[in-house]
Structure 1
Amino acid sequence: MTKLVYFAWVRERIGKGEEDIDLPASVKTGSDLLRHLKTLGDDYAHALEHENVIRIAINQEHVEHDEPIAGAREIALFPPMTGG
């Protein structure tokens, strides 16, 4: 079981802030995760439709989409940040 946490408009579009999910063995990278989540329903597909802009953090460390997610206790997904 992996804890997924969603932020900002990703959370708003999916309709929840977090969830625990069993990931299939085929989900090995952040990109695999995004593709899998998009199959879970229209809300996920809408939230992740532009997956290239979604940022991923594994155990609170930013990672690239092609990095492995094996052993992750928590995976966070969020849109690009803006700051000032």
Structure 2
Amino acid sequence: MTITVRLRFFASLREKLGEGEALALPAGSTVGAAREALQARGGLHAEALARGRAVRAALNQKMAPESAVLADGDELAFFPPVTGG
């Protein structure tokens, strides 16, 4: 069984990857698995979402760890950390 999540990208990630897209994953996938699936595409996805890069995730508009399990229809957003001064 597969699920489909709606991806959204913000700030510098949006500039590189676009506004967002739909992503099909196996049921039971996590936020980390979604990131890995995007990295596996190579190119800009691999560069922007590489493990060494500081990237945060929000699941249905709430901060989420990479271990959070995704459900069909969820919104998953990736963005760089925000700093202020």
Q: Note whether the superposition's TM-score is higher than 0.5.
A: yes
- Alpha carbons of structure 1 residues 56 and 19: separation in structure 2 relative to 1, 3 Å: same
Larger % of strand: which?
2
- Give, as a single letter, the amino acid of the residue that structure 2 aligns with 1:37: L
Cα distance in 2, alignment partners of residues 41 and 20 from structure 1: 17
RMSD, aligned CA? 1.9
1:32-80 per-residue CA deviation (whole Å, 9 max, x = no partner) reads 1111100123010011113662111111011111111224521000011
Gaps of 5+ in 2: none
- Where does the alignment leave 5 or more consecutive residues of structure 1 unmatched? none
Secondary structure of the 2:40 match is helix
Aligned to 1:18: 20
TM-score (norm 2): 0.82
Partner of 1:3: 6
5 Å matches for 1:8-47? 8-14=11-17, 16-23=18-25, 25=26, 28-47=29-48
Aligned CA distance change for structure 1 residues 29 and 59 (closer, same or farther; 3 Å): same
- Relative to structure 1, the CA distance from residue 4 to residue 10 in structure 2 (aligned partners, 3 Å threshold; closer, same or farther) is same
| Partner of residue 75, structure 1 | 76
In structure 2, give the amino acid aligned to 1:20.
Answer: A
Aligned partner of 2:58 in structure 1 is: 57
Structure 2: which amino acid aligns with 1:54?
V
Could you tell me the percent identity over the aligned residues?
32
